[in-house]
A and B are shown apart, each in its own frame.
Chain A
Amino acid sequence: MNRGAPVAIAGIGCLSAAGRSLKENMTSLFAGKRHAAPPVRFSSRHPVSYPVFEIPEYDLPNDASEIKKVSRTCRLGLSAAVEALQDAGLDAGQMTGTRVGVCIGTTVGSTMNNEGFYRDYLSGMHPDMSVIESFLRGNPASVIAREYGITGPCQTVVNACSSGTDAIGIGAAWISSGMCDMVIAGGADELCRVTYNGFISLMITDDSPCRPFDRDRKGLNLGEGAAVLILESDRSLLERKGQARAFVLGYGSACDGYHLTAPSPDGKGLRKAISDALIQSGRRPKDIAFINAHGTATKDNDRTEAMVIREMFPGAPFFSTKGYTGHALGAAGAIEAAFTIACLESGMIPANTGFVSPDPELGAIPVIENTGISKDIALSDSLAFGGHNGALLLGLARG
């Protein structure tokens, strides 16, 4: 892994069950407010109900009808992109051309799993093909590219739960390699019945609001949302007299090569991903203000992750924000990158909501109340199905 140059983040947009904008999200986090409830948009038949972090319909922007035709995942992504562009002081016209790229992480957004269509197909009812047309038109990165007339590189990352982290890392590389001047990078994912049933079948969901890193944690709650970062080259920022809000300092990616759904107990993939992010940034573990952990609240994830954090960053504060947003799958890494930057800016990190009792097996305790921080770089990491691990080093200053 070579040393790399910081990549400017000119704007951020974020939408989750905790808020319709990054600012609203952070208000909820610092107020310790969370709202987990049984799903509203779909029903299911399980002996117990599993709470989710769902975005109310009225919180989705009231868009032009064209945009309403695309999938919920795409609407979430577009909404975050709008906020990010506004935040960066960019208007839509400035995004056209071949030196602008789009890189978005998702899981549901790229899967043709429309249950209604499939049921009709199975029963021989010749279902309406508009569902399929919508899917074929609905690649999340392509939808954003078309919305803004972007003709540069376009990519949808489908790396399961680390997709958002990976998409930002890739977007940053497109800037530092000189391939792009601007990249809309982030993640978007919607709640749906298929993933709801899928995660329940794996017995890694909690029937109460989740408890990351807690001794009695029972699993995750699903969530939905999107976050977008506008990544920009120094030259482009200078030309339009823009400002960098923060920087991507490093990115790492590595596999465990261990198991399809469980992380490697020795955390070797996560360690490698974090090490590569540090190497690329030229920073050391003691420079880090905090770690925004993946912290899904499953037994396996939190155990592995806490061990790696404890060993690589002894004494550093860490927390999971999934207690406020649920696990938004492909969007999670991007949402957490957005939160990480906002925390650095405010000099404060939120309590790890849901935590009550230390787990002796973890040997580490997350922050339990809003806590001031003074350093200006932080780590956000993600662990995914398939044993994939992603890590981002983010900072307020270039060097």
Chain B
Amino acid sequence: MNLNEELKKIIVKDLFIEDITWDQIEDDSPLFGEGLGLDSLDAVELVVIIQKHFNVEIKDMDEGRIAFQSINSLASFIRERQRS
């Protein structure tokens, strides 16, 4: 399972998304606002989810804003952090 797929599955499961399935999430669609329609509470929950599953820390929401733009941006953020 590649990282994008893993992220989609985790997001759907841990954020209790019911109206779409993981494979319907586009790699490039916005996660917040439009697209998946997540909000500020989901954002902080996602920080915890990323820490728990990937041991990658997101220090504040300035970092979060960049990482959470899409599945692609989140995956590359994680890969970069795991390298260092």
Contact = CB atoms under 8 A, between A and B. Distances in A.
In their complex, do chains A and B touch, with some C-beta pair under 8 Å? yes
Interface of A: 47, 201-203, 218, 259-262
SS class, residues of chain B in contact with chain A? helix
Given A260-B41, A261-B40, A261-B41, A203 B60 contact: yes
Given A203-B60, A218-B60, A259-B41, 9 more contacts: A47-B57, A201-B48, A202-B44, A203-B44, A203-B47, A259-B40, A261-B40, A262-B40, A262-B41
Interface in B33-55: 39-41, 44, 47-48
A260 B39 CA distance: 11
Contacts of A260: 41
17 contacts: A47-B57, A201-B44, A201-B48, A202-B44, A203-B44, A203-B47, A203-B60, A203-B61, A218-B60, A259-B39, A259-B40, A259-B41, A260-B41, A261-B40, A261-B41, A262-B40, A262-B41
B57 to A, nearest CB: 7
Contacts of A262: 40-41
Interface of B: 39-41, 44, 47-48, 57, 60-61
Contacts, number: 17
Nearest to B48: A201
A202 B60 CA distance: 10
A317 B38 CA distance: 38
A162 B38 CA distance: 27
A21 B61 CA distance: 39
B16 to A, nearest CB: 14
Nearest to A204: B44
Closest 8 CB pairs of A and B: A203-B44, A202-B44, A262-B40, A261-B41, A203-B61, A201-B48, A260-B41, A47-B57
A47 B56 CA distance: 12
Contacts of B41: 259-262
A351 B69 CA distance: 40
B20 to A, nearest CB: 22
